[in-house]
């Protein structure tokens, strides 16, 4: 069996032979008239064995298969629309050109000119009269991609994955369709798409560790944003009433099937509504996206049947903890809570703050049970420094998170717009930082100043697009739906 290095050597030798014939193996200009898909459409007019004499097509694509038969050869080429079979015959293109064709390999790009016909087996085919080489592939493609067991190699060399695995490109086209449909949905409801800074002086808007960078001219550290929230709310203060951003966020955290340090999120804010209104908007948006992008509202995810047509289940955070962890947050002390966490969560980092302890329990015990579309609502204030208190409650906030199949898909709340209370909440966060919670919020004095100018009653929602695409494509890992996920350096 020829090893990969030997195959590369053989291909390089072929490259030199092509050059010796005076042919540029990386030619540029080609006026394509048809795609593979449009050739198939034209071929519907042809009967078996018939050549469409009045139509000449020019098609360009990557060679996928080659089957030589003496002085003739069948091959398949692929473009973005699919595959088409080509047929080259020595006496049709000439001996010199046919010798050049025999120097081609699977993976090469060629442009072909010819007429459409159907073979005796009914295969749509282009009978070539001329062809040109447009890119010589020096690396051999996997013969059987299904036999490649190194999954990490698929992520590391996504370009090979896209070439060899025909199921991958449609997945990422669906991802693009989902994002376009989100824009269409929100634009149709009068939302305005905006952009906010990706480098910030103070990281805020989420509980997460930031990446630090340095601006040389200003001689100051900046942070890649962990969320756009505080800037978007500044725009609400400024007078916008419906805004959204589809943004890139960066969090210096672990890598897993649900986490990538760089990810895409939708974040939207609307004045004069509350979190109840946002739950209705979320239900409608998910229903619309499933209808437009999947063509149905019922689908399967990792063995679970999901239905997005009906109203989502609502369960309070405290009731969820009580139901699945048998802990009453209203009566348990922080000391007792810590003891329970140490029993439930093994090999956990040292945790002291209420937020860290309760969050650890929730992730370990509650989330795996949230299979059907569910809103977890009414979180304790100590976990939500930016959320408005629930009317009639001293300890809960108007916050919800959507869950499906144990996947946290987002975060939302009625926004806290009292500047004095917001400042107190930030001060409490500083106390949590001193206790070791390095994901707690920092004080953002300019945001407090913005609130002092007056922010109307507002509700905001963030949806993780990578996880949403996971759900809609039945993908087990977030790395399956990110073109270039973050990986460890290759040794």
Report the CATH number at residue 121: 2.40.50.140
Same domain, 281 and 378: yes
Cβ(82)–Cβ(36) below 8 Å: yes
Q: Quick check: 183 pLDDT over 70?
A: yes
Structure tokens at 102: 């025999």
Same domain, 126 and 170: no
Could you tell me if residue 202 is inside a domain? yes
Where b means 16+ CB within 10 Å and e means fewer, 15-34 reads beebeeeebebeeeeeeeeb
pTM, full prediction: 0.92
Cα–Cα distance measured from residue 116 to residue 43, given in angstroms and rounded to the nearest whole number: 6
Cα–Cα distance measured from residue 203 to residue 429, given in angstroms and rounded to the nearest whole number: 13
Across all residues in the chain, what is the average pLDDT? 92
Coil, strand, or helix at residue 237? helix
Q: Which of 111, 141, 171 is the last residue of a domain?
A: 141
Cα–Cα distance measured from residue 24 to residue 18, given in angstroms and rounded to the nearest whole number: 8
The total number of structural domains in the chain stands at 2
The pLDDT tens digits for 280-301 are 999 999 999 999 999 999 999 9
Cα–Cα distance measured from residue 11 to residue 2, given in angstroms and rounded to the nearest whole number: 12
The pLDDT tens digits for 225-271 are 999 999 999 999 999 999 999 999 999 988 899 999 999 999 999 99
Could you tell me if residue 261 is inside a domain? yes
**Mean pLDDT, residues 273-284:** 98
Q: What residues make up the domain containing 267?
A: 163-312+372-480
User: What is the 8-class DSSP label of residue 364?
Assistant: I
Report percent pLDDT > 90 for the chain: 76
Burial, 443: exposed, middle or buried (Cβ in 10 Å; 0-12, 13-18, 19+)? middle
| pLDDT at residue 147, rounded to an integer | 41
Same domain, 29 and 102: yes
Could you tell me if residue 273 is inside a domain? yes
Length of the chain: 491
- List the one residue out of 414, 399, 401, 341 whose CA is nearest residue 367: 401
Q: Which of 78, 110, 141 is the last residue of a domain?
A: 141
Same domain, 129 and 205: no
Cα–Cα distance measured from residue 373 to residue 403, given in angstroms and rounded to the nearest whole number: 6
The pLDDT tens digits for 335-391 are 888 888 888 776 656 777 888 888 889 999 999 999 999 999 999 998 898 999 999
CA-based torsion, 33, 35, 41, 47: positive or negative: positive
Structure tokens at 177: 């369709």
The pLDDT tens digits for 121-146 are 999 999 999 999 999 999 998 865 44
């Amino acid at each position: 069996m020829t090893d990969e290095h030997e195959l590369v050597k053989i291909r390089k030798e072929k490259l030199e032979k092509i050059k010796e014939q005076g042919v540029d193996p990386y030619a540029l200009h080609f006026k394509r008239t048809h795609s593979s898909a449009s050739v198939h459409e034209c071929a519907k007019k042809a009967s078996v064995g018939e050549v469409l004499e009045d139509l000449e097509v020019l098609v360009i694509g990557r060679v996928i298969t080659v089957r030589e038969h003496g002085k003739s050869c069948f091959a398949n080429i692929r473009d973005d629309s699919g595959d088409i079979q080509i047929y080259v015959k020595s006496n049709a293109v000439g001996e010199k050109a046919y010798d050049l064709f025999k120097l081609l390999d699977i993976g090469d790009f060629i442009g072909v000119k010819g007429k459409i016909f159907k073979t005796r087996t009914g295969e749509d085919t282009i009978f070539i009269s001329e062809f040109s080489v447009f890119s010589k592939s020096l690396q051999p493609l996997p013969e059987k991609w299904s036999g490649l067991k190194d999954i990490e190699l698929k992520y590391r060399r996504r370009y090979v994955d896209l070439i060899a695995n025909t199921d991958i490109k449609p997945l990422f086209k669906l991802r693009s369709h989902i994002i376009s449909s989100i824009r269409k949905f929100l634009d149709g409801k009068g939302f305005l798409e905006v952009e906010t800074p990706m480098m910030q002086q103070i990281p805020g808007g989420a509980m997460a560790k930031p990446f630090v960078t340095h601006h040389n001219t200003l001689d100051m550290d900046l942070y890649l944003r962990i969320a756009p929230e505080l800037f978007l709310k500044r725009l609400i203060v400024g007078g916008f009433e419906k805004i959204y951003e589809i943004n890139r966020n960066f969090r210096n955290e672990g890598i897993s099937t649900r986490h990538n340090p760089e990810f895409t999120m939708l974040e939207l804010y609307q004045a004069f509504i509350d979190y109840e209104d946002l739950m209705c908007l979320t239900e409608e948006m998910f229903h619309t996206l499933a209808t437009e992008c999947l063509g149905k509202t019922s689908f399967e995810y990792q063995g679970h049947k999901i239905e997005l047509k009906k109203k989502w289940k609502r369960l309070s955070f405290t009731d969820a903890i009580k139901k699945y962890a048998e802990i009453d947050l209203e009566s348990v002390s922080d000391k007792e809570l810590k003891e329970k966490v140490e029993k439930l969560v093994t090999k956990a980092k040292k945790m002291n703050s209420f937020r860290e302890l309760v969050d650890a329990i929730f992730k370990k015990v509650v989330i795996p049970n949230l299979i059907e579309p569910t809103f977890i609502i009414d979180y304790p204030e100590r976990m939500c420094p930016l959320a408005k208190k629930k009317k009639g409650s001293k300890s809960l906030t108007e916050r919800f998170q959507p869950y499906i199949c144990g996947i946290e898909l987002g975060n939302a709340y009625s926004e806290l717009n009292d500047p004095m209370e917001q400042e107190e909440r930030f001060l409490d966060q500083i106390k949590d930082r001193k206790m070791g919670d390095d994901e707690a919020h920092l004080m953002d004095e300019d945001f407090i100043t913005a609130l002092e100018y007056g922010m109307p009653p507002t509700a905001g929602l963030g949806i993780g697009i990578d996880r949403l695409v996971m759900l809609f494509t039945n993908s087990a890992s977030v790395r399956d739906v990110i073109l270039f996920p973050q990986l460890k350096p290759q040794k």
